[in-house]
Structure 1
Amino acid sequence: MSANKRVSTIAIYALLIIFGFIFAVPFLYTIYTSLVSLQDVNKFAELSDLTFKNYTLFFTNEAYNVPKWLFNTVIITGLVILGNLIINPMAAFALAKLEFTGKKMVYWIVVATMMVPYQMILIPVYVNVAHLGWLNTFTALTVPFLYQCLYIFMLRQFFITVPGEFIEAARMDGLTKMGAFWRIVYPLAKSPLITMSILAFAGTWNSYLIPSTLINIPEKYVLVVGLNSLKDAFFENTPLIMAGVVLTTLPILVFFFIFQKQYIEGVSSAGIKG
């Protein structure tokens, strides 16, 4: 490696480290503030003064019901991810590899739906959910979101790149089209599926507008809605508020760091094609 190239590489990594630190500062501040007492906010507290009492308060005080809200969030997020892992790939595979009447129309409907902000259809969704008797139930927070047009489009772009010979070989071995999909094509989509799972996890875990609209029973709140309902009571207790922010953010960061390699591969393999 030449001297100029080495200097260029060092400069690039130095800039990345600097920018990474800049972007990490707000979250590091949030974690730090969640571990100090109210009188130590915006001060440099000693290591011995750091405490987990704000987190303990959330999980031990029955008035906050945080364990229940956390459980609700885990269940709803898990069901949404599971549904997206089943329905989206099947729809994407059909649009990518199968031939049927109206295929192009369905594809463009999917693309057009991606361009509509969900806030514009929230009222019709609320009306339909109310007519079905799903208000204040987990069904309202899961069934309408078991598929996402964005993920269908993303997976379709990947399935287009899968050679048709793989499917034909599977059919010659006696597999049906669905059998070829589940046993041959689906495993090849590991990276985009993980990418989709990360996006679905973040979107569902952090969702506020939809759960707060469809659920008004405190026992059935998700974590974000439940913690937001407490913010007025603790508006001046910055450490407690920051502890709530960490509780809602940390799981997403952990999930991303575990699967970040597959996420990057999935984004790269789901480029626009066809």
Structure 2
Amino acid sequence: MAAKKRMTLISIYALLVLFGLLFALPFLYTIYTSFLTMKDVNQFSGIPELTVANYKMYFTNEAYDVPRWLLNTVIMTALVILGNLVINPMTAFALAKLQFAGKKVIYWIVVGSMMVPYHMILIPVYVNVAQLGWLNSFWGLTVPFLYQCLYIFMLRQFFISVPGEFIEAARLDGLTKMGAFWRIVYPLAKSSLITMSILAFAGTWNSYLIPSTLVNVPEMYVLVVGLNSVKDLFFENTPLIMAGVVLTTLPILIFFFIFQKQYIEGVSSSGVKG
């Protein structure tokens, strides 16, 4: 019986590995192609034929400023994640644990906003950003996105599950409601916050529509927008395009693999409740 169970587990893991390789194959092909020269595309080349020239071209060619675009992307992503780590949990905690006038109305506005495609409000966002003088600036790229209704809803579901006795005990110890939130409740949401950070990181790092709409000067391009302009210049150079894809995708994969355990825990603990 034990041997049969072991064989079943081996078969399951073998299938999982097989499907994992199948899903990873396109990205592995992308990485491999990014190290080729144009003449070696679509054929197998040995290690001696591989080259980093495509990556070197991105960082040394004066026609485009990839290091600046990369720095812009890092700054934008860091500011957006930081804002989401502060504003979303505070809003979610208020909707989950505090009592105030209009709470249900605000909650349903948050839920309703999740159902509106961002394309529908892109023009009003552009107009507001332009009126504030924030076009072609980090203000325009970050301030409108320092909170996300989806993450507020997700965190609210977690905070609902936190026993009210924790907060009451903190209040009896002399903490204010904000003190109880930051010192007691916020640390409990670590997994959910990491889950939110991963989703925010992926969405912001790979964002194209918003930055391309709010920015039209090359020195303020983010990586995806800048590399897309490079693609138009070198459309026929497949290895160079693949190197650009790796540059935009690899940071997200690294970020996810670092925090994948907390991500799974956060998804489990932020399910829809009550």
- TM-score of the aligned structures, taking structure 1 as reference length: 0.99
- Aligned residue number for residue 36 of structure 1: 36
Question: Structure 2: which 5+ runs fail to align?
Answer: none
Letter in 2 for 1:210: I
Query: What does residue 136 of structure 1 align with?
Result: 136
Residue 2 of structure 1 deviates from its aligned partner by 2.7
Partner-residue secondary structure (3-state), 2:232: coil
2: distance between equivalents of 1:130 and 1:59? 32
Partner of 1:230: 230
206-215 or 3-12, larger mean C-alpha shift: 3-12
Q: Give runs of aligned pairs for residues 235-250 of structure 1, distance below 5 A.
A: 235-250=235-250
State the partner residue of 1:91. Answer: 91
Counting only pairs closer than 5 Å after superposition, residues 1-274 of structure 1 correspond to structure 2 as 2-274=2-274
**Cα offset for 1:52?**
0.7
* Distance in 2 separating the partners of 1:179 and 1:186: 10
C-alpha separation in 1, matches of 2:51 and 2:144: 41
Shift in Å at residue 123 of structure 1?
0.7
> By how many angstroms is 1:140 displaced?
0.6
Q: After TM superposition, where is structure 1 displaced by more than 4 Å over at least 4 residues in a row?
A: none
TM-score scaled by length of structure 2:
0.99
Return the letter of the residue paired with 1:167: I
Deviation of the 1:3 alpha carbon:
3.3
CA shift for structure 1 position 99: 0.4
The one-letter code sitting in structure 1 at the alignment partner of 2:168 is E
Distance 2:159 2:2 in 1: 41
The number of equivalent residue pairs is 274
Identity %: 80
Deviations 1:134-176 (A, max 9, x none): 1111111100000000000000000011111110000000000
Rounded to whole Å, the distance in 1 between the matches of 2:38 and 2:48 is 15
**Counterpart residue identity of residue 139, structure 1:** W
Deviation at 1:260, TM superposition (A): 0.2
**In the aligned structure 1, how far is the partner of 2:185 from the partner of 2:219?**
42
For the residues of structure 2 that align with 1:244 and 1:229, how far apart are their CA atoms? 11
Query: Given residue 55 of structure 2, which amino acid in structure 1 is its aligned partner?
Result: Y
Q: Which moved more, 1:79-88 or 1:42-51?
A: 42-51
Q: CA deviation at 1:192?
A: 0.3
Query: Alpha-carbon deviation of 1:263?
Result: 0.3
Q: CA–CA distance in 2 between the matches of 1:161 and 1:21?
A: 38
How far apart are the structure 2 equivalents of 1:140 and 1:21? Answer: 40
